[in-house]
Structure 1
Amino acid sequence: MDLRQRLILTVAILASFVPFLDGSIVNVALPAMVDELGGGIVTSQWVLDGYLLSLSALILLAGSLSDSLGRARVLVAGLVLFGVASVACALAPTAGLLIAARVVQGVGGALLVPSSLAIITSSFSGAAQARAIGLWTGFTGVAFIAGPVLGGALVDTVGWRWIFGINVLPIAITLLLLSRVRGGHEKTSGARVDVIGALLGTLGLAGPVFALIEHERLGWGSPAVLVPLLGGAVLFVAYLLWERRAAQPMLPLALFSVRNFAVGNLATVFVYAALSLGPLVVTLYLQQVVGAPAFLAGFASLPAALIPLFLSGTFGGLAGRYGSRWFMAVGPAIGAVGFLWLLFVQRDFDFWWQMLPGLLIFGLGLTITVAPLTSAILGAIEPARSGIASAVNNAVSRVAGLVAVAFLGAIFGGALDLEAFHRTVIIAAVLLLLGAMTSAIGIQNRASAEKVAVETPQN
């Protein structure tokens, strides 16, 4: 790489590192937030889902904005928006204002991830591009690992507000470096923004999520629950119908005509819903029931996070050689065994044998799953469409997590205790087994070797 390419890669890594870090750092701070601001499990759900809702609903639109307005311009907008929202989160005096700031943070995060990747793909080619994307992926993985430990340390020392305040420094450095980048971030000629699709998709997701979170407090019979639930469902159907006829759709539904892409994304729904439930309930249980400090609760996530860091490349290579099908079937099944091991957790708690082996087994299953899953999905689509295919899969995984967290209150039954913990890990295990069966039945190794060109329908 020359100096300019190194600078571009550094900008891309820093710009995406911040939202990826934020996605993992918040879990460990939830109990401290609720203790100060109140609201119980509903506040926890909205702090997570407010961010995921705007992020998942807008990440595809952000890709269009990056093409139509220019990648650097969208990246700057995302950095500024994320930074301002982070300061607002750090200063929020009430739970409502914190949640509102988290929604804005999600908008900023949606602008950052596709733009940072787009700058890489437009500035590198061939083997250099593959290496740059690999470095980008590796550093975002570090963000997931560092998040819980760093968050726990901040919560236990200077307070939960600093998990948001700390974002300002890397954002400022990224903006400074970005001001020195020239070229490689121009507009794409003829690109258009699917505004109607963005509005329908956002409202179609927001209504049911609101109903799922608030039904325990208001009741299913409340108009404040029924209207958003039914109205959101209607709007989401309208969103899908609109995407079928849009000239430049935010969600190219034609991609789902490819078997491995469709089946892989269905498996993604099950796997990532489990990933949103299982690790979250472990972190909350350690703090709220066991009474562990935030740092130790975050540190407990390290074993499961380190295994993918060292072995994901190995299993990705094996999937490339032998096909993804059985890795995608065996990996989630092993992960399910890891979650079921957590049923050994009892009131007389012992982390070393009741929880740690399960977390390690889960980490191994996750490692076997993720790289082959990505390979099967992207390998089914021609290279020219891999960017939008990746964005769609990213959005699917975020929506799966969004809906899973929305069900958290119903799963807990109002409060987190040992029985609720056991219910949650059983549900996470069942979801992983559904992902395993979906992959075993639906994924075709032959299809992964034959890249299928998919054309977006035009009016």
Structure 2
Amino acid sequence: MTPSETATAAPPGRWTPLLAVCLGTFMLLLDVSIVNVALPDMATTLDASFTGLQWVVDAYALALAALLLLVGSIADAVGRRRTYLVGLAVFLAASLVCGIAPSVGPLVAARFVQGAGAAAMLATTIALLHTAYHGRDLGTAFGVWGATSGAAVAAGPVLGGLLTQGLSWRWIFFVNVPIGLVTIVMARRTLSESRLPQRPRIDWVGGGAFTLAAAALTFALVRAAEEGWTSGQTLGAVAVSVAALAAFVAVERRVAEPMLDLALLRRGSFVLVLVAAALLSISAFAGLIYVSIWLQTVLDLGPISAGLVTLPLSGIAFVVAGGLGRVLHGVSPRWTVGGGLVVIGVGDLLLLGLDGGSGWAAVLPGLAVIGVGTGIAIPTVVAAAMAAVPRERGGMAAGAVNTGRQLGFAAGIGVLGSIFSARVDALLPGGADLAHAVSSGGSASVLAAAPASSRASLDAAIHSAVGGALGTTFLVAGVLGVVGGAVVAVLLHEPVTPPAPGAAVEQPVGAQA
């Protein structure tokens, strides 16, 4: 919190406010990765299509990305504590609806609302900690907050597997209810309110235009996997996205207090960091849901085992970021962000060899290398964005780069999903319907319906098609990472200045949220 902001007196209980913030942060980040291992069970229970599974993940990321800047400005005006509490309540209620959803449509809608609640929580956590703590206590609080964030991301796949296999996929959402209730009670009693002294005007029109643009683009990318890139739905959604984006630019140029100062986009280094942030999410995380489908529905691993297979990525990223954080702090972002992206891309390319004979161990080296690159790049990407803009715009830059990361994740799921499903269709004999069923996690049903005499050959064909499709998917992700990282390393050479103390804190390791 800056000296110009107002706040009420600090509540009693030295570390209770930190616990209230960390519990909320843990939940919202857990729900990014906890869903992946539950997707095959969701597909079976809800008879979900491949597109439906993509939206279960994408709706949350989209809402989080599209609303983060707008909710942040709302919090500045009405109060960060109030916004955090409202976000908690919305997140909790949406989690309950997710858990009882009778079909994939209501589940996707509830996931979007859940993402909106998560945006309200994430947009306020830093300011709440700045209000509650100062000096050395603030450093300690951020250390605990960062560790909690990393632990949530690392625990997501394993906890998701435990709940899905031990109880039901619905419990990955139900578990938020008791934690959320405790967090609401604790936050009401211990967190202090803070807001800007002069209530700013909220950029509702700009926020609405940006949300529509992001939603329409994501819809187009996801629908392209099923309808094709030249279909009326895909092209119509692209047209809506372009029109909404043009409206957003027009509004931001004229409004007195813009949600995003467009002058920042004239700074080459800032734009490069935004692009790098989006590519980071695409190359490191967007392909994991297809790995989960392969592990569980083709290799017949259980949810717990599938979660353990993908754990090296987030676990190694957490260790690398924690171990090298102090060392990398003074290194130019052209090497940390650009170099980290290249390492991520190399990890993706290590998965090129997947085929019909590949087992779960074949993905471990690639995921481990991706984890190393993620641990190098993520802790510095927000600081690089803040250093590329004037000091007073540091907070806006941090919000923009975090938005770019989430939009990259949402878009990456659509793009890589289109590639994955198209390759399964091309490599698997039997027609589009069979390929669509396999892409959606229905391999077991397909095999059960086949004549006994042909099951062995069909099973081998499914293994070969899905393994080959994964290889192609990670080829694209790897090229994006390597080329994007090389461009950043070559072009991001402008002098940088340290960000304003306490202006913002970067997203935690591995978070898509």
Q: Please give the TM-score of this superposition, normalised by the length of structure 2.
A: 0.83
Local SS of the residue matching 2:199: coil
Q: Counterparts of 1:219 and 1:244 in 2: how far apart (Å)?
A: 35
Partner Cα distance (1:337, 1:235) in 2: 36
8 A Cα contact 1:316 1:375, kept in partner: no
Counterpart CA distance in 2 for 1:450 and 1:442 is 21
Q: Which residue is equivalent to 1:367?
A: 375
Q: Report the CA distance between 1:200 and its aligned residue.
A: 0.5
Residue 194 of structure 2 aligns to a residue in which SS? coil
Q: Unaligned regions of 5+ residues in structure 2, if any?
A: 1-9, 423-435, 440-465, 504-513
Q: Give the total of aligned pairs.
A: 452
The answer to whether the Cα contact below 8 Å between 1:267 and 1:438 also exists between their aligned partners in 2 is: no
What's the counterpart of residue 198 of structure 1? 207
Supply the RMSD in Å over aligned alpha carbons: 2.3
> Which segment drifts farther, 425-434 or 321-330?
321-330
Per-residue displacement from partner, 1:34-80 (whole Å, max 9, x unpaired)?
A: 11112321111111111122221111111011111111111111111
1:64 and 2:113 aligned = no
1:14 aligns with 2:23: yes
Comparing 293-302 with 282-291, which one deviates more in the overlay? 282-291
Which residue in the other structure is 1:401 paired with? Answer: 409
Mapped pair 1:125 → 2:134: yes
Q: 1:211 to 1:335 in 2, by over 3 A?
A: closer
Aligned match for 1:275, one of 284, 289, 292: 284
Q: Give, in whole Å, the separation in 2 of the partners of 1:209 and 1:202.
A: 11
The residue number in structure 2 matching 1:28 is 37
Q: Is the 8 A contact 1:328 1:368 kept in 2?
A: yes
Question: Retained in 2: the 8 A contact 1:154–1:162?
Answer: yes
* SS class of match (1:321): coil
d(CA) in 2 for partners of 1:116 and 1:15?
A: 9
Partner Cα distance (2:39, 2:11) in 1: 43
Answer whether contact 1:260 1:448 (CA < 8 A) is retained. Answer: no
| CA deviation after TM superposition for structure 1 residue 2, in Å | 8.8
Match of 1:163 in 2: 172
Rounded to whole Å, the distance in 2 between the matches of 1:83 and 1:321 is 40
Q: Aligned-pair distance for 1:344?
A: 2.8
User: Residues 296 and 319 from structure 1, CA distance in 2 versus in 1: closer, same or farther, beyond 3 angstroms?
Assistant: same
After TM superposition, give the deviation of residue 110 of structure 1 in Å. 1.0
Tell me the residue number matched to 2:431. Answer: none
Aligned counterpart in structure 2 of residue 172 of structure 1, from 181, 188, 210: 181
Q: CA deviation at 1:448?
A: 4.3
Q: 1:316 to 1:379 in 2, by over 3 A?
A: farther
Q: Give 1:14 deviation, angstroms.
A: 1.2
User: 1:91 pairs with 92, 96, 100, which one?
Assistant: 100
Q: Does the 8 Å CA contact 1:316/1:371 hold for their aligned counterparts?
A: yes
Q: Does the CA contact (< 8 Å) of 1:323 and 1:448 recur in 2? A: no
C-alpha deviation, 1:332, in angstroms: 2.0
| 1:418 equivalent in alignment to 2:467 | yes
Distance 1:217 1:264, change over 3 A: closer
Q: How does 1:10-409 map to 2 (within 5 A)?
A: 10-181=19-190, 183-186=192-195, 188-220=197-229, 222-352=231-361, 354-409=362-417
Q: Does 1:440 align with 2:489?
A: yes
Gaps of 5+ in 1: 455-459
Q: Which moved more, 1:17-26 or 1:403-412?
A: 403-412
State the secondary structure of the residue aligned to 1:160.
coil
Q: Match of 1:109, as an amino acid?
A: A
Q: 1:396 to 1:214 in 2, by over 3 A?
A: same
1:371, distance to aligned residue in structure 2 (A): 1.9
C-alpha separation in 1, matches of 2:134 and 2:408: 33
Given that 2:66 and 2:403 are in contact with CA atoms closer than 8 Å, whether structure 1 keeps it comes out as yes
What whole-Å deviation, never above 9, does each CA across 1:418-452 have from its counterpart, x for those lacking one? 2211111111111111221122122226324598x
Report if aligned partners of 2:279, 2:481 keep a CA contact under 8 Å in 1: yes
1:407 Cα deviation after fit: 2.0
For the residue of structure 2 that corresponds to 1:234, the secondary structure is helix
- CA drift of 1:257 comes to 3.6
Aligned to 1:430: 479
Report the alpha carbon displacement of residue 159 of structure 1 after superposing the two structures with TM: 0.8
* Structure 1: distance between partners of 2:137 and 2:144: 11
**TM-score scaled by length of structure 1:** 0.92
Instruction: Please say if residues 323 and 445 of structure 1, whose CA atoms lie closer than 8 Å, have aligned partners that are also in contact.
Output: no
Structure of greater Rg: 2
Would the alpha carbon gap of residues 253 and 128 (structure 1) be closer, same or farther in structure 2, given more than 3 Å must change?
Answer: farther
Structure 2 Cα separation of the partners of residues 16 and 254 of structure 1: 32
Q: Which amino acid counterpart does residue 388 of structure 2 have in structure 1?
A: A
Residue identity matched to 2:145: W
Q: 1:383 to 1:177 in 2, by over 3 A?
A: farther
Change (3 A) 1:71 1:449: closer
Calculate percent identity across the aligned residue pairs: 32
**Does the CA-based 8 Å contact 1:45-1:408 persist in structure 2?**
no
Paired residue type of 2:218: V
Partners in 2 of 1:356 and 1:217 — Cα distance?
30
- Contact 2:382–2:402 (CA<8 Å) still a contact in 1? no
Q: Which residue of 2 aligns with 1:457?
A: none
2:225 touches 2:419 (CA, 8 Å); kept in 1?
no
Q: In 2 relative to 1, CA 398–49 (structure 1 residues): closer, same or farther, beyond 3 Å?
A: same
8 Å CA contact 1:70–1:188 kept in 2: the answer is: no
> Whole-Å Cα distance in 2 between the matches of residues 19 and 405 of structure 1?
19
- Give the secondary-structure state (helix, strand or coil) at the position aligned to 1:342: coil
Distance in 2, Cα, partners of 1:139 & 1:382: 30
